[in-house]
């Protein structure tokens, strides 16, 4: 790491520490009622208590499951549909207008429809999360497939590669940087929608934990849940970034 | 037998012996005639160079021979059969090597692509790749990505991938156009030694007149709008060619003059 990078890292840690200290100060001075705002000490204690009783861990797993299933379903469907649409100019011309209509539709508008059709079930949650998370992946995949260097398709033709080989060895690797970037974006969407679905449908997860804590005025538990959600979003995003860097190692050699 | 009939017969026998033949081939693209009534036979093992002003249809003619275009009328044949599409025994070296290589595969991986397409079993590939890398002098760069290599190395890599196809015919479109003079001369000699040994048939497009004479058994000059043959020169220079001796040969100078005058006249 360069000197400048180390300095930036130290600065960012100092900012975080300062933020926590200020939070503690506001709580200690009772600038906000402790009913609404616990200090970091109480929030941390609640976090530890939640885990040792086992309750919080199961909620975390619940949220991770919702997120993972929805995200994976969105990834598979988004890549498949995106590849289909992106690899054909005609499909792009026909389908693009419908996509432009559906894409800006807020997912929250879909939720009542999904509840009406599927009830307050896991299936509804899976559908809503996947529906929301599919867009960044599908649009990135369409772009990635449409942007494959045409010369490479001519190379493939002159090598008489099979259709499957052209997709697997040329189109997909060429579109991979776009696809992975889309998957990283939709991870956040999946987390947000997991929480929303858990709150709306009372499904086991951190969303439900946060909701129940708020209703019971257990502000320390509420904050423990929110902190855990933040950490979950942060760590999963880092994990995907690491996979991305590994899979795209060849790009780091480019100027 | 009339003179015309006898000429036709002579043409027919030449065509039979030809590996690639343009038979009054015409190609229109977007309502414009790009190539008109092109008659051209390429003998097996011949090194044919095509020169001409920019935009006169050299690339288009090569793409017809590659099967990437089909003629609007007339025919282009390979071994007597009309060309219906690209075939593995005809390899194409594109000018823009940077776009014709897979940036996510190393040098070895890019060569492997051709072997995979030909169905070479995995256990045989690494030794074949090593041999090809040695042949074009890239043995020390097997694990480099194209973006880590110089232009000359990338073009050599593309040539190696084409050789991995084990082609009988090489179609090269201004392959050294973007390279500096020293790299270019080195690659000219490499291509000559690689193709002369294996009796590979080559159609080589270039805008460099000296390069065309230095490499070719025959040089065709195209006239523009629409593309057609304007001059045809047999190159009677001894082989193997030599960068100094060949270029100082009186015949070389005479051909250069003739070709230069032709190009000058087409550009007015
Ligand atoms: N796909 C195409 N559609 C329409 N015109 C084309 C197309 N490709 C090439 N041309 C035209 O055909 C002519 C010959 O092009 P090209 O074969 O690339 O020339 P060269 O390789 O000799 O520079 C040019 O005038 C070019 O504009
Ligand atoms: Mg050209």
Cβ-based contacts of B88 with chain A (< 8 Å)? 158-160
Q: Separation of B69 CA from ligand 1 center, angstroms?
A: 12
**For ligand 1, is residue B29 a contact (CB within 6 Å)?**
yes
Q: Do B96 and A151 touch (CB under 8 A)?
A: yes
pLDDT grade for B185, boundaries at 50, 70 and 90 = very high
Q: Separation of B59 CA from ligand 1 center, angstroms?
A: 7
Q: Of chain A residues 152-171, which have a CB less than 8 A from chain B?
A: 152, 154-161, 165, 169-170
Which CB contacts under 8 angstroms, 24+ apart, belong to B221-224? B221/B50, B221/B51, B221/B52, B221/B259, B221/B262, B221/B263, B221/B266, B222/B50, B222/B51, B222/B52, B222/B56, B222/B57, B222/B58, B222/B61, B223/B52, B223/B56, B223/B266, B224/B52, B224/B53, B224/B55, B224/B56, B224/B57, B224/B266
pTM: 0.87
Please count the residue pairs, one from chain A and one from chain B, whose beta carbons lie less than 8 angstroms apart. 65
CATH code of the domain made up of A38-252? 1.10.3720.10
Which ligand lies nearest the alpha carbon of B58? Answer: 1
Cβ-based contacts of A151 with chain B (< 8 Å)? 94, 96, 99-100
Domains of chain A, residue spans:
1-31, 38-252
**Total residues belonging to chain B:** 268
CATH class of B39-89+167-268: alpha beta
Which of A151, A161, A165 is closest, CB to CB, to B99?
A151
For ligand 1, mutation pick of B28, B29, B226 (most atoms within 8 Å of CB): B29
**For ligand 1, is residue B226 a contact (CB within 6 Å)?**
no
Please report the atom of ligand 1 found closest to the CA of residue B58. 22
Shortest Cα–Cα distance, B212 to chain A (Å): 25
Cβ-based contacts of A251 with chain B (< 8 Å)? 103-104
Measured CA to CA, the distance from residue B53 to residue A50 in angstroms comes to 79
**For ligand 1, is residue B57 a contact (CB within 6 Å)?**
yes
C-alpha closest to that of B115 among B107, B125, B126: B125
Shortest Cα–Cα distance, A177 to chain B (Å): 11
Q: What is the full per-residue pLDDT of chain A (255 aa) written as tens digits?
A: 688 889 998 999 999 899 988 988 888 888 888 878 888 888 898 888 988 987 899 999 999 999 999 999 999 999 999 999 998 888 888 888 888 788 777 888 888 899 999 999 999 999 999 999 999 999 999 999 999 999 999 999 999 999 999 999 999 999 999 999 999 999 999 999 999 999 998 899 999 999 999 898 888 899 999 999 999 999 999 999 999 999 998 887 654
- pLDDT digits over B147-162, tens only? 999 999 999 999 999 9
- What's the confidence (pLDDT) of residue B144? 95
Establish if A252 touches chain B: CB-CB under 8 angstroms: no
- What's the confidence (pLDDT) of residue B1? 58
Which of A169, A248, A253 is closest, CB to CB, to B148?
A253
Closest residue in A to B97 (Cα) is A151
Average pLDDT, chain B: 92
- What's the confidence (pLDDT) of residue A255? 45
Asked whether the bond before A82 is cis by omega within 30 degrees of 0, the reply is no
Kindly report the protein residue whose alpha carbon is nearest to atom 3 of ligand 1: B29
Q: How far is CA A232 from CA A136, B76, B140, in A?
A: 20, 63, 45
DSSP secondary structure letter of residue B104: T
Which ligand lies nearest the alpha carbon of B56? Answer: 1
What average pLDDT does this structure show over B1-19?
74
What average pLDDT does this structure show over B85-90?
93
Whole-complex ipTM: 0.90
- pLDDT digits over B14-56, tens only? 666 899 999 999 999 999 999 999 999 999 999 999 999 999 9
């Amino acid at each position: 790491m360069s000197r400048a990078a180390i300095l930036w890292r130290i600065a960012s840690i100092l900012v975080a520490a300062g933020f926590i200290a200020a939070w503690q100060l506001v709580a200690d001075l009772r600038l906000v009622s402790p009913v609404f705002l616990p200090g970091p000490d109480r929030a941390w204690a609640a976090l530890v208590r939640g885990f040792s009783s086992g309750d919080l861990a199961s909620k975390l797993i619940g949220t991770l499951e919702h997120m993972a299933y929805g995200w994976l379903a969105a990834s598979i469907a988004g890549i498949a549909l995106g590849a289909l649409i992106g690899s054909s100019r005609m499909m792009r011309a026909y389908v693009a207008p419908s996509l432009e209509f559906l894409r800006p539709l807020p997912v929250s508008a879909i939720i009542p429809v999904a509840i009406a059709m599927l009830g307050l079930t896991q299936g509804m949650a899976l559908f809503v999360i996947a529906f929301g998370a599919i867009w960044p992946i599908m649009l990135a995949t369409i772009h990635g497939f449409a942007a494959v260097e045409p010369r490479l398709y001519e190379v493939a033709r002159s090598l008489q590669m099979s259709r499957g080989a052209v997709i697997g060895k040329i189109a997909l690797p060429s579109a991979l940087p776009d696809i992975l970037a889309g998957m990283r974006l939709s991870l956040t969407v999946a987390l947000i929608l997991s929480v929303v679905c858990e709150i709306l449908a009372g499904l086991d997860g951190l969303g439900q934990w946060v909701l129940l804590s708020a209703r019971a005025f257990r502000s320390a538990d509420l904050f423990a849940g929110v902190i855990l959600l933040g950490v979950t979003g942060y760590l999963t995003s880092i994990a995907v970034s690491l996979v991305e860097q590994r899979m795209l190692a060849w790009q780091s050699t480019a100027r | 037998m009339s003179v015309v009939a006898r000429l036709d017969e002579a043409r027919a026998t030449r065509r039979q012996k030809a590996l690639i033949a343009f038979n009054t081939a015409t190609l229109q693209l977007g309502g414009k005639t790009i190539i008109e009534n092109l008659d051209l036979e390429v003998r097996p093992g011949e090194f044919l160079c095509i020169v001409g002003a920019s935009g006169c249809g050299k690339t288009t003619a090569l793409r017809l021979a590659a099967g990437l275009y089909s003629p609007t009328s007339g025919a282009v044949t390979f071994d007597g059969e009309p060309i219906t599409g690209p075939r593995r025994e005809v390899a194409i070296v594109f000018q823009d090597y940077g776009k014709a290589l897979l940036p996510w595969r190393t040098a070895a991986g890019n060569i492997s692509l051709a072997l995979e397409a030909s169905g070479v079993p995995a256990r045989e590939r690494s030794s074949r790749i090593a041999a090809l890398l040695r042949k074009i002098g890239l043995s020390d760069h097997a694990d480099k990505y194209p973006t880590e290599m110089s232009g000359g190395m990338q073009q050599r890599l593309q040539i190696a991938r084409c050789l991995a196809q084990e082609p009988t015919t090489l179609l090269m479109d201004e392959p050294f156009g973007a390279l500096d003079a020293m790299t270019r001369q080195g690659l000219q000699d490499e291509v000559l030694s690689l193709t002369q040994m294996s009796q590979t048939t080559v159609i080589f497009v270039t805008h460099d007149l000296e390069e065309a004479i230095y490499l070719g058994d025959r040089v065709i000059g195209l006239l523009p709008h629409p593309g057609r043959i304007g001059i045809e020169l047999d190159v009677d220079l001894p082989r193997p060619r030599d960068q100094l001796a060949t270029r100082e040969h009186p015949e070389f100078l005479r051909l250069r003059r003739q070709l230069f005058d032709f190009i000058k006249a087409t550009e007015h």
